[in-house]
Amino acid sequence: MNSVAAPVADATGNWVDTLAPRWSRPYLRLSRFDRPIGSWLLLMPCWWSAALAAGVAHTVAQLPLIIVLFFIGAFVMRGAGCTWNDITDRDLDALVERTRSRPIPAGQVSVKRAAVFLVVQALIGLVVLLQFNRFAVATGIASLLIVAVYPFMKRITWWPQIVLGLAFSWGALMGFAVTFGRIDATAVLLYAGSISWVIGYDTIYAHQDTEDDALIGVKSTALLFAERTHQALAAFYALAVVLIGAALVLADSGLMAWAGLGVFAVHLIWQIRRLDTSDTALCLRVFKSNRDAGLLLFAGLLADAVMRAAV
């Protein structure tokens, strides 16, 4: 098979492998368009924040546009983040079975071309960001520092998932920045709850690579927690629900928002009960199910915002 057309090991059978033009496939893989789950997970806190802020403001007039712009921004900036991650991790990726077929270590894209592609994606993200107010623009740009340092964290700390949580949860601040031009305690609590959620689900994801990570000296909460992973997940998921619940209290949210949080919590409990960390395929499925958990919470927040706006 042509090396450019060769799929990534853990993302076979997707539209990129079958429908995309051959020349574009390595770049789409750098952006993880063959595996969009990460983009959805980056998007969820953005949508939560947008809906919660709309509920506080008692208006949904701008919410559809904000939802669309957040969708575009999340997919583009997740692609930029993954491209940066692949550039910095190219030597480590070559040592791990699951990642050695990624475009850079597989020789499908040079580092120079990947860097140019990174800039193009970042510029598209900037265009989206510039549709908002100045405070929101500054808030969005501030997240880039966390994104830049994240790939190096697994080399120096057992808790790289915290830094990922800081980056992937940034959207929990953006809805309030866009809607009100400020970040208040409600947004901060939502952000903290999302961070806890990210630590939990990325620990599940990291259990796919524990053997390789241990061999090459890469750190993660999956290795740190090991056989105590279920207890750790229970703690972080419970903290996520409590913190998001506190945000709902401050926002004076209604029944639909609480219903959304309730089904979100039930889904997290199901994940913990379902998980077998020795089954890497199951770890991936449970990890991916967090998109559904996030959408359930968003549905409740959105319904609550619509109902409050109608009063």
Query: Is residue 187 a contact partner of residue 172, using CB atoms and an 8 Å limit?
Result: yes
Rounded CA separation 220/8 (Å): 22
**The pLDDT of residue 86 is above 70:** yes
DSSP string, 50-65: HHHHHHHHT--SSHHH
Residue range 23-306 forms a domain whose CATH class is mainly alpha
Question: Using one digit for the tens of pLDDT, what is the confidence trace for 25-67?
Answer: 999 999 999 999 999 999 999 999 999 999 999 999 999 999 9
**Which tokens sit at 117?**
């592609």
Q: Which sequence spans correspond to the domains of the chain?
A: 23-306
User: Model-level pTM?
Assistant: 0.91
pLDDT, residue 1, reads: 39
Q: Look at the alpha carbons of 288, 292, 293, 297 in this order and tell me if their dihedral is positive or negative.
A: positive
Query: Is residue 276 a contact partner of residue 259, using CB atoms and an 8 Å limit?
Result: no
Question: Average pLDDT for residues 191-197, to the nearest whole number?
Answer: 98
